[in-house]
């Protein structure tokens, strides 16, 4: 093929949007998809503003090369994002009558003359994407989330950047915990899965790591912290995922757990710090890292992954292989059917090597 000659493509025009929470690497992924689609295949690209809201409100524009140039290192997303869930409040099965928002999305898709819609998002986004595919739209997904909890991919972009941020925060807390002989509980994101807390906890040398998959016993945590004191270690770092729960909480239904947390808030770290103080008498403090975890520039690893997933998505577009999500499988970029991640969460397996690694170096997992 002559340099600069366009390759053939089934897809002529596609739309692209970012949905859910922002995370490092979104712009790198946008750049990867758009550059490959435009430079290699000559596709037309329609940028959809603010997630699914943009489709509902017909807020879209033609993207030109200047729009996706120079954005590799930028945090956030040039397209904007929202948490709009068009199928929310609907018990959906393929062929069901859908609500006005879904009808508006379908209408905008056809008005814009799209051959496919590329979605950059997490679990909720891919669940919506699968449902839209069942409604007859052509969909391709790219997995992003700092939680790393999307089924079907070994890693999602955004995770590595958040891991680096979380680890640095733990490193910094060690010195203040040591100076004041305190227990400091740091809360990281991870509502349903504990990948981020587990990996950052190991990387940062957390003395206790608490994740949603392993309900904790505060008495065991207290005993571990007391033993550290008795051995001459007068400070401790507890790394907790936001979804970490006690054994008692794990026995509650969703409604009961929500009520309990509202009464014992304001968040997981504060609740656990109070429990530790009550059980040990050791001065304990809480730190909630919050949105800092998903802000800022992406790590080199996430830039590479996001770019690779993006260019692979462009190849799927060119071949007309729709209803797929690009994914990392070992060292290979592959694609899987959208039904695989739909409605699921990739939890940390209880036999995962990182749990054993944490325990092997003396980390308490709360049980």
Q: Just list the catalytic residues.
A: 147
State the Cα–Cα distance between residues 268 and 186, nearest whole angstrom: 9
Structure tokens at 13: 């025009």
Check if the beta carbon of residue 5 is closer than 8 Å to that of residue 39.
Answer: no
Q: Is 73 left (phi over 0), alpha (psi -120 to 50) or beta?
A: alpha
Q: What end-to-end distance do the CA atoms of the chain give, in Å?
A: 61
Integer angstrom CA distances of residue 349 from 213, 239, 261, 339, 364: 8, 18, 25, 21, 17
Closest by CA to 345, choosing from 122, 155, 121, 91, is: 122
Pairing state of beta strands 236-241 and 208-210? parallel
Check if the beta carbon of residue 191 is closer than 8 Å to that of residue 212.
Answer: yes
Measured at the CA of 291, the angle between CA 141 and CA 270, to 5 degrees, comes to: 125
Pairing state of beta strands 208-210 and 13-18? unpaired
State the Cα–Cα distance between residues 258 and 225, nearest whole angstrom: 28
Check if the beta carbon of residue 164 is closer than 8 Å to that of residue 289.
Answer: no
Integer angstrom CA distances of residue 147 from 155, 241, 246, 266, 287: 10, 10, 20, 21, 19
State the Cα–Cα distance between residues 211 and 356, nearest whole angstrom: 14
Closest by CA to 239, choosing from 194, 192, 188, 308, is: 188
E-only strand ranges, the chain: 13-18, 44-48, 60-62, 116-121, 139-143, 183-188, 208-210, 236-241, 284-288, 324-329, 332-337
């Amino acid at each position: 093929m002559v340099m600069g000659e366009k390759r053939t493509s089934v897809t002529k025009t596609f739309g692209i949007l970012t949905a859910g929470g922002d995370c490092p690497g979104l712009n790198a992924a946008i750049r990867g998809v758009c550059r490959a689609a435009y430079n290699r295949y000559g596709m037309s690209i329609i940028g959809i503003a603010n997630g699914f809201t943009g489709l509902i409100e017909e807020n879209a524009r033609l993207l030109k090369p200047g729009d996706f140039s120079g954005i590799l290192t930028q945090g956030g997303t040039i397209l904007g994002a929202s948490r709009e869930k068009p199928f929310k409040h609907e018990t959906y099965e393929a062929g069901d009558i859908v609500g006005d928002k879904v009808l508006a999305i379908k209408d905008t898709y056809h008005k814009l003359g799209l051959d496919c819609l590329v979605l950059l998002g997490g679990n909720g986004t891919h669940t919506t994407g699968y449902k839209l595919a069942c409604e007859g739209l052509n969909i391709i997904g790219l997995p992003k989330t700092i939680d790393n909890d999307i089924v079907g991919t070994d890693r999602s972009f955004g995770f590595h950047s958040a891991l680096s941020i979380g680890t640095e925060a733990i490193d910094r807390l060690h010195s203040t915990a040591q100076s004041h002989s305190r227990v400091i509980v740091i809360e990281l994101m991870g509502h349903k899965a504990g990948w981020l807390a587990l990996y950052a906890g190991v990387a940062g040398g957390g003395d206790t790591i608490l994740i949603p998959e392993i309900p904790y016993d505060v008495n065991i945590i207290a005993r571990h912290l007391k033993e550290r004191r008795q051995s001459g270690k007068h400070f401790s770092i507890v790394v907790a995922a936001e979804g970490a729960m006690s054994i008692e909480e794990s026995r509650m239904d969703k409604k009961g757990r929500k009520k309990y947390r509202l009464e014992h808030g304001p968040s997981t770290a504060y609740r656990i710090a109070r429990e530790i103080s009550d059980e040990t008498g050791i001065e304990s403090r809480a730190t909630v890292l919050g949105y800092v975890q998903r802000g800022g520039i992406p790590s080199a690893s996430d830039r590479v992954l996001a770019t690779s997933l993006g260019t692979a998505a462009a190849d799927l577009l060119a071949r007309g292989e729709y209803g797929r999500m690009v994914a990392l499988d070992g060292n290979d970029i592959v694609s899987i059917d959208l039904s695989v991640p739909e409605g699921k969460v990739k939890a940390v397996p209880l036999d995962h090597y990182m749990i054993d690694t944490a325990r092997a170096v003396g980390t308490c997992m709360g049980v």
